[in-house]
Structure 1
Amino acid sequence: MEPSKYNKVLVIDDHKMVANGIKLVIGDLYNHFYMAYEGATGMSLALQHFPDLVIVDYSLPDTTGDLLVRELKYKLPETKILAYSFSYAPDAILRMLQAGVNGYVIKKEDDEEFIKSVHLLMSGRDYFCKEARNHIINRFSDANDELAMKHLIANTKFSGKELELIKLLCRQMTTKEIGNHLFLSERTVEQYRSNISKRIGARNLAGIIKFALQNGIVQLDEL
């Protein structure tokens, strides 16, 4: 029994019975419970309520879960995201992993595993059910060198655009130069940089470069 309730959770799932079922299972763990049945409404509710946890399906009527997760992670970097989907296709799992989800649970798993995943994410840990873990391991089992595994670590934390921005920062390009290269406004580049710095605990450019080198995002000869 948890000593106190968590604050806010948002479920984004086009199956209303599934969303209602999630509420029955974990509704008592939260002070506030929100539901959306497609991505746009889910994004709107997320920006309105700033949930601690978002539970999202991979297949949605207006988008795919990985695209929605990338947007959620960019706009709400502190929010934990749990993928809860019928899909156990390796491609779907890897797309969600690379988009930045903190966990993945397949809907055929029992309630106990689902509740366990929620508690782990709320405590700051990641959780992937056995089947999801197997797909991730199989996908990278041929990558024996440490560098490939480091790329996997980096890809679980950042979107493709964020990884590109990290590389450009490491080359000490200016905000304006990066904006021109990535077709982003200077303000957006600064917002990206701020979010990245917070997530890796970097106080300055040196900290970003150190992280990028340690995780194989850039090589010394690229700097």
Structure 2
Amino acid sequence: MTRIVIADDQSLVRSGIRIILEQQDDLEVVGEASDGVEAVELVQQHDPDIALLDIRMPELSGLDAARLILARSTNTRVLLLTTYDVDDYVARALRDGASGYLLKDAPPAELVRGVRAAARGDTVLAPAVLARIVDDFTRREFDQDAGDAAGFDRLSEREKEVLRALARGFTNAEIASDLFLSPATVKTHIASILGKLGLRDRLQAVIAAYESGFITPAGGPGGTRRGPDAPGTA
């Protein structure tokens, strides 16, 4: 059973989300918060699997609440839910270790899939948001030597291949097929990459690789990328 805390300052929104989630046999809402401070307290009290936070809340924003939750808990994954598909919000949340970001106008089935994916340890992004993040990188200029300075020189050649495949949006199964590895070996390589770079999850590794210049969106070490219709889980 996946245990969830919901935080949103609109009671009707909280109730609607709760109804959607609790229609599923494997999902249980263990607490509701109306602001970020209350959300942090409920997470400390219940230690849920997922904290589903609205970004804009009184007292403490969802972004600040997420940072506190992730700093204090090793068990709870944070999934942000908002009407604001602003790239700065997305980048900040992911750097802080959030597991995903969905829009409030997403269909109920997408919300359920997102919660389940986050509970599995996957990173979840609304497809439109994912496309905008990658498109933003295509408009930047990169220092091709920055990757070594950021610690990417510590990766083995195979780990660099895996990271480049992650940056193209490949799943573990697709990476395994592409590199002629077993899925278990791919998972081991990803864990090693995260450990060497000091990062929480695979999407943080991809963002760090783009920002450092280790991977460029087009024509560089990262090769081609998937288009905006690529699945929103990583």
CA distance in 2, matches of 1:112, 1:146: 41
TM-score normalized by the length of structure 2: 0.60
For residue 48 of structure 1, report the CA deviation from its aligned partner.
0.7
Q: Which has the higher contact order (CA 8 A, sep 6+)?
A: 2
After superposition, where does 1:66-77 map in structure 2 within 5 Å?
A: 66-77=63-74
- TM superposition shift of 1:67: 1.4
Aligned to 1:211: 197
User: Does 2:92 correspond to 1:106?
Assistant: no
Counterpart residue type for residue 12 of structure 1? A
Equivalent residue in structure 2 for 1:135, among 128, 132, 136: 132
Compared CA separation, residues 133 and 41, structure 1 to 2 (3 A): same
Greater helix fraction, Structure 1 or Structure 2: 1
Regions of 4+ moved over 3 Å: 143-152, 214-218
- The Cα shift of 1:149 comes to 8.0
Q: Deviations along 1:148-184, whole A, 9 cap, x unmatched?
A: 78999x9xxxxxxxxxxxxxxxxxxxxxxxxxxxxxx
Per mean C-alpha deviation after superposition, the further-off stretch among 45-54 and 129-138 is: 129-138
Select between 33-42 and 23-32 the one with higher mean Cα deviation.
23-32
Percent identity between matched residues is 21
- TM-score under structure 1 length normalisation: 0.62
Residues 140, 46 of structure 1: alpha-carbon distance in 2 compared, 3 angstrom cutoff: same
Aligned to 1:41: 38
Question: For residue 16 of structure 1, what is the aligned residue in structure 2?
Answer: 11
Q: CA deviation at 1:22?
A: 0.8
Q: Quick one: structure 1 residues 76 and 87, their matched pair in 2 at CA, closer, same or farther if it must change by over 3 Å?
A: same
Structure 2: runs of 5 or more not aligned:
153-189, 199-204, 213-234
- The alignment partner of 2:132 has SS state of helix
- Helix, strand or coil: the match of 2:133? helix
Q: For 2:149 and 2:97, how far apart are their aligned partners in 1?
A: 13
SS at match of 2:94: helix
Residue 84 of structure 1 aligns to a residue in which SS?
Answer: strand
Match of 2:57 in 1: 60
How far apart in 2 are the matches of 1:16 and 1:103? 22
Amino acid at match of 2:16: G
- C-alpha distance in 2 between matches for 1:146 and 1:121: 33
CA distance in 2, matches of 1:135, 1:58: 18
Shift of 1:139: 2.6
Q: Match of 2:117, SS?
A: helix
